[in-house]
Amino acid sequence: MEVKLYNTLSRSKETFAPLVPNKAGMYVCGPTVYTYAHIGNLRSYIFADLLRRMLEYNGYEVTHVMNITDVGHLVSDADEGEDKLVEGAKREKKTPWEIAEFYTQDFMHSLEELNILPPTIVCKATDHIQEMLDFVKELYSRGFAYRIEGDGIYFDVSKLADYGKLSGQSLDELQAGARIEINEHKRHPADFALWKDAPPEHIMQWPSPWGPGYPGWHIECSTMSMKYLGKKIDIHTGGIDHVPIHHENEIAQSEALTGETWVNYWLHGEFLQVDGGKMSKSLNNFFTVSSLRERHFDPIAFRFMCLNAHYRTPLNFTWEGMSAAHTALQRLRQAYQQLPTSPDQPSPQLAAKFHKAINDDLNVPLALSYAWEAARSDEPGSKALLDQFDQVLGLNLNAAPLQQELPPELKALLEERNQARANKNWAQSDQLRDQLTSKGVTIKDSKDGTHWEYKPQ
């Protein structure tokens, strides 16, 4: 069955045709490890994980490469300001190396919590400085780059006739729409740093033909992807925010080096919004996997939430939505557990529908509806079918149903209410019930006992 992918470059769905039959090379832009990754960042990695799982479901041998940016990503994408790792080091009074190690480990743990498959290759920028220097020297020698004294080596975007093809902006449009140039020495506002000069006090620096310095952000991904996947790549993914600058610049420097198309399929995931707006620390809506845990949610419930929206559609995050996702996933797991194990073959019709959905540019919301259909079916083989579907969905359906926990103070109130009911102290029982309700605990009393559901506020 053919695989269709929406290619940002052509702005259309295309049939996937890998460079090597039955193999797929996939490069995923990794994190800049100067602080915690938030769940908006992590939505992009859930999307990339679904893409990889879908390709493997189709029999492809996938080489999944992800970088770790531990140097060179400046505060401003316009190549100005401080390195984010140095900024983080000053904030926490640690070395950049300690900052990078701590947040790399935290990020990898977050991937594990969300059941995201570990990449085939994880590559750190600081382990590939020489390869980046070789790349920059080659561009410089061919006339694609120039030096600004006291600043660094910049790529000259005017040397490429098709610069801007990913975002759809021409050089004239970029010139007209440019803000006041921060760096008046650049030949064009869109020119970007390949290598930055480092002042003596700069913590992260390496020797180069132009003096001590460090790599630009964009050169890292081009260098490492080519090292591990070759000079032509099947798929490159990232967040939609990477299109106009980071990925545009990756294309420019890579195709200047090779003289041919670098990536065949560009795929981008849309934003995760919070209460309909941007996620930011200043608005106090910057949530991490630890934030989910603190509110007593299994992170897999967040993965489930993401599966209910197409990767190219913005998704709005609310705690009410998170609670609904938690409940729905709990019900799906319970339905799975109640299905009988059977040697019978699963429904080929439902399997074909699921396969067609995931192959149509990862239509996972539709595929998930077929998982629900299997879970509610009394046909023999439905449990095996769900096992098959979960190879792509990654919801760990064979795990125990989610058990939501109450914070200790609410758990104590619930136990106190249960005791009041046992003592037939109905007035106290009602008072405690009202207290629990005001704190997000919905209680249902039945002949089988007291059942509750918690929606953190």
Q: Look at residue 137 in the predicted model and tell me its pLDDT.
A: 98
Q: Look at residue 200 in the predicted model and tell me its pLDDT.
A: 82
Q: Look at residue 424 in the predicted model and tell me its pLDDT.
A: 80
* DSSP for 65-134, written as a single string: EEEEB-S--BSSTTS-S-BHHHHHHHHHTS-HHHHHHHHHHHHHHHHHHTTPPPPSEEEEGGG-HHHHHH
Q: Look at residue 366 in the predicted model and tell me its pLDDT.
A: 98
Length of the chain: 457
Structural contact between residues 125 and 131, judged by C-beta atoms closer than 8 angstroms: no
Q: How far are the Cα atoms of 77, 181, 191 from residue 187, in angstroms, in the given order?
A: 17, 10, 7
Q: What are phi and psi of 177, to 5 degrees?
A: -90, 5
Q: Look at residue 177 in the predicted model and tell me its pLDDT.
A: 46
**Residue 311: which of 411, 254, 237, 255 has the closest Cα?**
237
Q: Look at residue 180 in the predicted model and tell me its pLDDT.
A: 40
Note the helical H segments in 189-318: 217-229, 248-258, 289-294, 299-307
Listed as own residue / partner, the contacts of 137-146 with beta carbons closer than 8 Å and 24 or more positions apart are: 137/209, 138/257, 139/194, 139/253, 139/256, 139/257, 140/194, 142/256, 144/253, 144/256, 145/194, 146/187
Structural contact between residues 45 and 211, judged by C-beta atoms closer than 8 angstroms: no
Q: What is the pLDDT along the chain (457 residues), one digit of tens a residue?
A: 999 999 999 999 999 999 999 999 999 999 999 889 999 999 999 999 999 999 999 999 999 999 999 886 666 555 566 667 777 777 877 787 888 899 999 999 999 999 999 999 999 999 999 999 999 999 999 999 999 999 999 999 999 989 999 999 877 766 554 444 467 889 999 999 999 998 887 788 999 999 999 999 899 999 999 999 999 999 999 999 999 999 999 999 999 999 999 999 999 999 999 877 777 655 667 899 999 998 889 999 999 999 999 999 999 999 899 999 999 999 999 999 999 887 877 789 999 999 999 999 999 999 999 999 999 998 889 999 999 999 999 999 998 665 566 778 888 888 888 888 878 888 888 888 888 888 888 888 776 667 777 766 5
**Residue 250: which of 214, 216, 215, 219 has the closest Cα?**
219
Amino acid at position 422, single letter: A
**Residue 131: which of 195, 249, 227, 256 has the closest Cα?**
227
Q: Look at residue 423 in the predicted model and tell me its pLDDT.
A: 85
Q: Look at residue 174 in the predicted model and tell me its pLDDT.
A: 64
Q: Look at residue 75 in the predicted model and tell me its pLDDT.
A: 60
Distance, in Å, from the CA atom of 389 to the CA atom of 385, rounded to the nearest integer, reads: 6
